[in-house]
Chain A
Amino acid sequence: MYAPAVEREIKEVVQEAIEKHGCGRDAFIPILSEINHTLGYIPAEAIREVKAQINHDGSFVSQGQLYGLASFYDMLSTQPRGRHVIKFCENAPCHVVGGKAIWDALRETLNLENGATTPDKKWTLVTTSCIGLCSVGPVLLIGDDMYGNVTVEQLPEILERYE
């Protein structure tokens, strides 16, 4: 799902996102989310490209405005991320049912700190806000796949599923 940026023209990705969501003010966040989803993050070139294309279409947006959005929202990243992003829920309900042990094990196994990416660009490890699956905590997401009632023993098997 996260095709490396080099493989797809950023221009093309931006154009597709704008075609899908329009170029009104209310489309800025959906456009950025779309780019983030396709490229895995929002490169600076993409922000320049969004500005150029939107302004060409008659609306006005500045690069600063777009960067302001990309840096404000947790789900948008301005830094490159790994092929698979592991989102770990660190909130109270997951915490009290043993989340800490999973978090420690994840960091240890991948040798990553919160927000970091492995040198081979395979994994990025981040914490996430509550995803509302509290009754099956501890919970983690890998890309769009959800895993509930996760135990430390299950982790290697879960991670193995990803190339």
Chain B
Amino acid sequence: MPFYRSHILVCVDPECLAKGAHDVVDALQDELVAQGLLEEIQVLETSRIGSCSDGPEMMVYPEGVHYVGMTADDVPFLVEEHFLKGRIVEKFREVHKAVVDEELGPLRPKEVRVVLRNCGEIDPMNIEDYLAVDGYQALGKVIGEMTPEQVIDEVTKSGLRGRGGAGFPAGRKWGLTRQVPGDIKYMVCNADEGDPGAFMNRRVLEGDPHSVIEGMIIGAYAVGASYGYIYCRAEYPLAVETLNVAIAQAREFGFLGNNILGTDFNFDLEVRVGAGAFVCGEETALMASIMGQRGEPRPRPPFPSVKGVWGKPSNNNNVETYANVPQIILKGADWYASMGTERSKGTKTFAVGGNVAKPGLIEVPMGITLREIIFDVAGGIKDGRQYKAVQTGGPMGGCLTAEHLDLPLDYEALTQAGSMMGSGGLVVMDETSCMVDIARFFMDFTQAESCGKCTPCRVGTRRILELLQKICDGKGQHGDIEKLEDLCHEVAKNSLCGLGQGAPNPVLSTLKHFRHEYEAHVYEKKCPAKVCRNLIHFEIQAPTCTGCMVCARNCPVEAISGERRQAHVIDINKCIRCGICMQVCNFNAVSVLS
């Protein structure tokens, strides 16, 4: 292996690519050739370093200098200064944030990284990088020293549960698939991460694809599968590309294909790309889509472990579940089970978003409280406002309130509280969020994504949405809340798959914890959070108004009148409640009332 005195890692994440990262890489290569440095300095492509929003960005090792915001034209200067003259170019240096980013920075307090450990640290396009961090050692151990039963025992003992949201014990699922008789069995990886705001699987696929592939090969050995599919959504083109490169490299190194590691174990893998359907995250819909059909769910049983892809026994886990497996094999089930609560072991990734100071992707041990996540890991609520609620489990999850802040996060506790683990999205809301509006927002999503196969979900979600819209519009009537509640229970009870069964959750949980807000909308025609347009009005506070006329000039419907240096007035009948006057006022003289 050649020895380089310096390595340049250029980020090629979608954001940086959009800002011309490839041009920078090309320019670097050209300039290194021109300066005769090609033997001394290696240019590598990596996924996210830290500051894609200021990209393109690169890290230079061994100095550990982080450069951002350069263009291809800046490269000759940069190469000359840094690599010929040995002077760090301060102009492009990112000092303040060092290696911090919105998605994945250095370890935050209370974070433990198992699944995300290699993301941003290795070149996902180079299998040797993965090998250097003990990659495929777990596979070697499994094939060389363990029987399939021992592998299943080890995974069962670790307590690993399905990270796709349902939380079915992974070892048990593997055992079930193994027991079903059949010559041909399939491994399926669900990479159809559709929950808005959840992007942990994308991150793993783009940053550390081999950990998923290795986990799948180990699983295939355990259940006796000979072929596998990774079903990745088409919205993640870079993940698809990275996976294809990784699979080709794994094949080249003998980790995939016939006679893996010189044994008689055969297993190969392909990526299937979706075509844009949220419901394909449901396992039976996903398998239908793999087989070239519309992604519509079917009733279970039979479960996929009995009858899955092409009617054969198929084991389906998600990206994060598989990515945990190599570490469990290498470090042992006891190590993994030492983290977490009694029934939920290990770590879980969460995408924290909404009104927190430091949103982003985190990985924490199970059993951590919401309070710790929101206030210690995510830096608390933004702009010093008050915490109000957190939506967990994505569009099929529920809203939890301040009384749940000390709830230990595990599968059972969340379900008991009326929400769910889901794939790990956490949307934190402060006092400026209207819970009826939030419920409407999520319902809008599930209604659009309903595949239309079963009536309760197809028609029910639409009727729920209409009721919510009516309430938000201030047209709610006596009895609407009760009707909404009944409808939600019916849809949850009678729908065919998880989408319809879970769709009413945001409504039911907000009804449970914030019923007074619904009542205020319906009976008092007020929106307590001052969000729903038809229920609010704007008012100019005469004592604070300086009569500068900025609001009047910006009002799109000329609803504001008043003389210069005199307090202005808003004509409520003309006002369309766009809020522009409030945004442009320099004296905070415009207030919103409900």
CA distance A132 to B236 in the complex (A): 8
Q: Is the CB of B234 within 8 A of A75?
A: yes
Q: Hey, what's the 0/1 contact readout for A123-139 against B, CB within 8 Å counting as 1?
A: 00000111111111000
Contact indicator A75/B103 (Cβ below 8 Å)? no
A74 contacts across to B, CB distance below 8 A:
275-277
CB < 8 Å: which of B18, B355, B442 contacts A146?
B18
Instruction: Give A116 to B339 CA distance when docked, in angstroms.
Output: 51
| CB neighbours of A28 from chain B (8 A) | 292
**CB distance A148 to B15 under 8 Å?**
yes
Q: Is the CB of A136 within 8 A of B194?
A: no
Q: How far is the CB of A84 from chain B (nearest CB, A)?
A: 15
The smallest C-beta distance from A90 to any residue of chain B, in angstroms, reads 9
- How far apart sit A147 and B17, CA to CA, in the bound complex (Å)? 10
Q: From residue B436, how far is it (CB to closest CB) to chain A in Å?
A: 15
In the bound assembly, the distance between CA atoms of A72 and B289 in angstroms comes to 11
Q: Which of B57-65, B196-204, B414-422, B474-482 contacts the other chain?
A: B196-204
- Interface flags, B405-437, vs A, CB<8A=1, else 0: 000000000000000000000010000000000
Ranked nearest first, the 4 interchain pairs of A and B with the lowest CB-CB distance are A74-B276, A91-B196, A73-B275, A135-B102
Q: Is there an interface contact between A146 and B15, defined as CB atoms closer than 8 Å? A: yes
Q: Is the CB of B235 within 8 A of A128?
A: yes
Q: Are A73 and B277 in contact (CB under 8 A)?
A: yes
Are A129 and B102 touching (Cβ within 8 A)?
no
Residues in A neighbouring B196, C-beta threshold 8 A: 91-93, 129-130, 134
Residue contact A93 to B276, C-beta cutoff 8 Å:
no
Knowing A74-B276, A95-B441, say if A147 contacts B236 (CB, 8 Å).
no
Q: Are A129 and B276 in contact (CB under 8 A)?
A: yes
A85 within 8 A of B: no
Distance (whole angstroms) from the CB of B389 to the closest CB of chain A: 13
Assess A146 versus B17: contact at CB under 8 Å? Given A92-B197, A92-B427, A130-B194. yes
Q: Write the residues of chain B forming the contact surface with A, with a CB cutoff of 8 angstroms.
A: 14-15, 17-18, 52-53, 101-103, 193-199, 202, 234-237, 272-278, 289-295, 351, 353-355, 359-361, 427, 441-442, 445, 449, 451
Asked whether A147 lies within 8 Å of B18 as measured between CB atoms, the reply is yes
Which of chain A's residues have a CB closer than 8 A to the CB of B442?
Answer: 92
Q: How far is the CB of B53 from chain A (nearest CB, A)?
A: 6
- Are A133 and B275 neighbours in the complex by a CB distance under 8 Å? no
A24 to B361 CA separation, bound complex (whole angstroms): 39
A26 within 8 A of B: yes
From B290, B294, B449, A69 is in contact (CB under 8 Å) with: B294
Chain A residues positioned under 8 Å from B273 (CB to CB): 30, 33
Q: How far is the CA of A70 from the CA of B451 in the complex (A)?
A: 14
- A93 near B197 with CB under 8 A, answer yes
Q: Which residue of A lies closest to B441 (CB)?
A: A92
Measured CB to CB, the nearest residue on chain B to A144 is B237
Contact B354 A130 (CB under 8 A): no
| Contact A26 B291, CB 8 Å, known A133-B199, A146-B17 | yes
A91 to B457, CA, bound (A): 21
The answer to whether A72 and B295 touch (CB under 8 A), given A32-B275, A93-B197, A136-B53, is yes
Report whether B193 and A133 are in contact in the complex, using a CB–CB cutoff of 8 Å: no
Which residues of the partner chain A approach B102 to less than 8 Å between Cβ atoms?
A: 135-136
| Interface: A5 (CB within 8 A) | no
List, in ascending order, chain B residues with CB within 8 A of A144's CB: 237
Across-interface contacts of A129 in B (CB, < 8 A): 194, 196, 235, 276, 278, 449
Q: Which residues of A contact B274 (CB under 8 A)?
A: 73, 75
A134-163 interface (Cβ within 8 A of B): 134-136, 144-149
Q: Which of A69, A132, A135, A136 has the most CB of B within 10 A?
A: A132
A32, B277: Cα distance in complex, Å: 15
The answer to the question of A96 belonging to the interface, with a C-beta cut-off of 8 Å to chain B, is yes
Residues of A within 8 A of B292 (CB): 24-29, 69
CB of A46 closer than 8 Å to a CB of B: no
Smallest CB separation, A72 vs chain B (Å)? 4
Residues of chain A contacted by B276 (CB below 8 angstroms): 73-76, 128-129
Neighbouring B residues of A119 by C-beta, 8 Å: none
14 new A-B contacts, CB < 8 A, other than A29-B289, A72-B277, are: A25-B292, A69-B275, A69-B292, A74-B277, A75-B275, A75-B276, A91-B196, A128-B235, A128-B276, A129-B196, A130-B194, A131-B236, A132-B235, A147-B18
Is A68 on the interface with B (CB-CB < 8 A)? yes
Chain A min CB distance to B414 (Å): 19
Using known A-B contacts A26-B290, A146-B15, determine if residue A134 contacts B275 with beta carbons closer than 8 Å.
Answer: no
CA distance A136 to B293 in the complex (A): 34
Within 8 Å CB of A93, what residues of B? Answer: 196-197, 353-354, 427
A75 to chain B, nearest CB (A): 4
For A132, give the chain B residue with the smallest CB separation. B199
> In the bound complex, do residue A134 and residue B197 qualify as a contact, i.e. CB atoms below 8 Å apart?
yes
* Across-interface contacts of B291 in A (CB, < 8 A): 25-26
List residues of chain A with CB within 8 A of the CB of B449: 129
- A residues near B359, Cβ cutoff 8 Å: 135
A32 cross-chain contacts in B, Cβ below 8 A: 275
Q: Give the complex CA separation of A21 and B37 in angstroms.
A: 43
Q: How far is the CB of B590 from chain A (nearest CB, A)?
A: 18
Q: With a CB–CB cut-off of 8 A, which chain B residues contact A149? A: 53
CB distance from A36 to the nearest CB of B (A): 8
What are 27 A-B contacts with C-beta separation under 8 Å?
Answer: A27-B292, A29-B289, A30-B273, A33-B234, A33-B273, A73-B275, A74-B276, A74-B277, A91-B445, A92-B353, A92-B354, A92-B427, A93-B353, A129-B196, A129-B235, A130-B195, A130-B196, A130-B198, A132-B199, A132-B235, A134-B351, A135-B52, A135-B53, A135-B101, A145-B18, A148-B14, A148-B18
Q: Does the CB pair A132–B275 fall under 8 Å?
A: no
Taking CB atoms, residues of chain B closer than 8 Å to A76 are 275-276
> Looking across the interface, which residue of chain B has its beta carbon closest to that of A25?
B292
A147 to B55, CA, bound (A): 12
A30: chain B residues at CB < 8 Å are 273
Q: Which of A44-96 touch B at CB < 8 Å? A: 68-69, 72-76, 91-93, 95-96
Instruction: From known contacts A26-B290, A74-B275, A76-B275, infer whether A131 and B441 are also in contact, taking CB-CB under 8 Å.
Output: no
Chain A residues 1-46 with CB under 8 Å of chain B are: 24-30, 32-33
Instruction: Report if A29-B193 is in contact (Cβ < 8 Å); known contacts: A128-B235, A136-B15, A136-B53.
Output: no
Q: Which residues of B contact A130 (CB under 8 A)?
A: 194-199, 235
- What chain A residues lie within 8 Å of B451 (beta carbons)? 72
How distant is the Cα of A25 from the Cα of B289 in the complex, in angstroms?
Answer: 10
